[in-house]
Amino acid sequence: MSDTIIPHARLTEAGARAIVRGAAAKAAEIGQPQCIAVVDDGGHLIVFMRMDGAFALSTDTAIAKAVTAAIYRSPTGEIAEGVDLRLAIATQGKRINLPGGLPIIVDGKCIGGVGIGSGTGEQDRICANAGLAMLEGAQTF
């Protein structure tokens, strides 16, 4: 391998669907329908699911959480109050600080993000972690 090319792992559609299945199963278990988004490492949508009964506007926030987690390679909801608003303004609303977005990290490399929305921040994060647990070798938070 030359110093101009970096090997790259990719999240497959099958992997993204496994994450969605795990998150949806946890959402059903806790009785909170969710919007579930999985994106690749560039923030491009791979799979989306809106469970029956999930809040319609959470479609947008679930996708934004997944994109933010993938691009910034860190969980959403952990930026100090005030700074989060300035970052949201600076990124024209693309940097979201609501809990429920987690990066998909395998072998130390971020290969995507999962975003969950429609419950409380804690419920969203629990479901996101359940989704990550379905992907072999994925870090949970």
Give the CATH number for residue 79: 3.30.450.150
Q: Which helix (H) or strand (E) holds 49?
A: strand 45-50
pLDDT tens for 20-29 read: 999 999 999 9
What range defines the domain where residue 48 resides?
Answer: 13-132
pLDDT tens for 27-77 read: 999 999 999 999 999 999 999 999 999 999 999 999 999 999 999 999 999
> In sequence order, what DSSP letters do the residues of 7-43 get, joined into one string?
------HHHHHHHHHHHHHHHHHHT---EEEEEETTS
pLDDT tens for 96-127 read: 999 999 999 999 999 999 999 999 999 999 99
Q: What pTM was computed for the model?
A: 0.94
The answer to the question of residue 3 being in a domain is: no
